[in-house]
Amino acid sequence: MAALEVAVQYALPRRGVPAAASLHRAACAAWRGSGAAAVTLRVVDGEEGHALNRDFRNRDYATNVLSFPAPDLPAMPAGAPRYLGDIVLCAPVLAREAAEQAKTLRAHYAHMVVHGLLHLQGMDHQEPGEAAAMEAVECSILAGLGYPDPYQTGSPARETNAPATGTVPDA
C-alpha cells in the first residue's frame, strides 16, 4: 500500500485532544488505496462543528465527524499525491460521546478518523448491508490498532442519515 500524507490542524487548544501522531496512525491504518494520497484532519470546537454541520448538512447541531471529499481536480504532476479531502473532528462532541460510551478518548478519535477516511474512499452506511460492511472494516482496522470494537452492545444508537456535501456518522 502506498503512503498517505496526513496534515493535522488544531483549531482549538490541543489540551485533551490526541496528538497528531495518534490521528496520523489511525488515518494511515484506514488507507486502502494505491498510489500516494493526502488528507487533512481538522479538530474543531463546537461552534465551528455546528456551523459546518448546519451549512453542509442542514443539521443545526455540532456532530462528531464530517467528511468532505475533494472535488475532482485536474491531473496532478507525476508523483504528486491524490488529495482525498478533509475530515473534521468536533472535540467537545467526541469528548462527550467517549464519556457516555465509556470509551477512551483516543479510541473514539481513532474510530472517527477511520470512519471519516473510509467515507472519503467511497464507503457508506445508508443501507443495512453497507453499514454492516463498513462497520466490519472499521472494527478490523481498529483491532489492528489495538482498540476494542466501537459497536459493542450498550453503545448509544448511531445516526445513519444520508450525507449532503459532508458525510457524518454519529457513532
CA angle 80/83/87 to nearest 5° reads: 150
What are the φ and ψ backbone dihedral angles of 63, each rounded to 5 degrees? -125, 175
**Does pLDDT of 110 surpass 90?**
yes
- 57 belongs to a structural domain: yes
Mean pLDDT of 10-32: 96
Q: Indicate which CATH number applies to the domain containing 109.
A: 3.40.390.30
Q: How confident is the model at residue 161 (pLDDT cuts 50, 70, 90)?
A: very low
Residue 83: beta bridge partners?
38
Strands 37-44 and 4-10: parallel
- 12 belongs to a structural domain: yes
CA angle 34/20/55 to nearest 5° reads: 80
In the chain, the number of structural domains is 1
Q: What percent of the chain has pLDDT over 90?
A: 72
**Does pLDDT of 170 surpass 70?**
no
CB atoms within 10 A of CB 97: 21
Least confident of 42-46, 140-144, 148-152, 164-168: 164-168
pTM of the model: 0.86
- 139 belongs to a structural domain: yes
Position 162: which residue type?
A: A
Domain of 55, in residue numbers:
4-144
In this predicted model, which residue has the larger pLDDT, 126 or 19? Answer: 19
